[in-house]
Amino acid sequence: MAENTVVQCFLFSLFFTHGVLEKITYISVEHPRISYFNPDFLYYANLTATRYGRKNPIYYVALNLHTVTPFNSSIYIDIYFYELLTNQYKRSFIEFHFDWCYLVEKDMFFGSSMRRGGINTPCPHMGPLRMSNMTINPSVIPKGFPFTRGRIYANFSHPKTKTRVGDGYIDMRLTTIDLKDPKNMFK
């Protein structure tokens, strides 16, 4: 009986001296792909996801674009979330619709990661655009996100000329991990 009390006191002190582990939910992404880009609007487009080590579970996304025409409010982005159900991606009710300038300058879900990734100049954007080390901030992910595995599909278009600019997708998974200091992991 006394041994159990000693073990409980030891675990209790260990719990308080080393801090409480915090659970954090984040979006892990893999298998990025640019499926199409229009050479009238984009000279080059590349999307990658990289993990910087075995101990860091987060994949960082890099998007490199070289625009031929200025990307301003006339370029629209439609983002659709697909849920993975029985090995098929089925479109969900979650979708975002932005013009380019609103996405880059004001959006908190995808736009904040683009700003941290390297787009710091105001609209319009022309020439090579390099965004690296992008992750979605876990604080903007809703607590009741409806599914854990899926795909994020983005479609870029120019509605005035009814032209498709480009599209691509990336597979996503909602993951929860225990972290001592989560602020250092998602910068």
**What residues contact residue 81 under an 8 Å CB cut-off, 6+ apart?**
91, 92, 94, 95, 150, 151, 152, 153, 172
What domains are there in the chain, each with its CATH number? Answer: 20-184 (2.60.40)
Instruction: Using CB atoms within 10 Å of the CB of residue 184, give its burial: 0 to 12 exposed, 13 to 18 middle, 19+ buried.
Output: exposed
* pLDDT tens per residue across span 11-62: 333 344 444 456 777 788 889 999 999 999 999 999 998 888 877 778 888 9
Compute the mean pLDDT over every residue in the chain, rounded to the nearest whole number.
Answer: 81
- Could you identify the residue written with the tokens 């600019």? 165
CA 180 to chain centre: 22
How many residues are given for the chain? 187
**What residues contact residue 23 under an 8 Å CB cut-off, 6+ apart?**
176, 177, 178, 179
Structure tokens at 8: 């409980």
Q: Model's pTM, two decimal places?
A: 0.79
pLDDT band at 185 (very low <50, low <70, confident <90, very high): low
Q: What local confidence, expressed as pLDDT, does residue 83 receive?
A: 92
pLDDT of 82 > 80? The answer is yes
Q: How far apart are CA 25 and CA 142, in angstroms?
A: 10
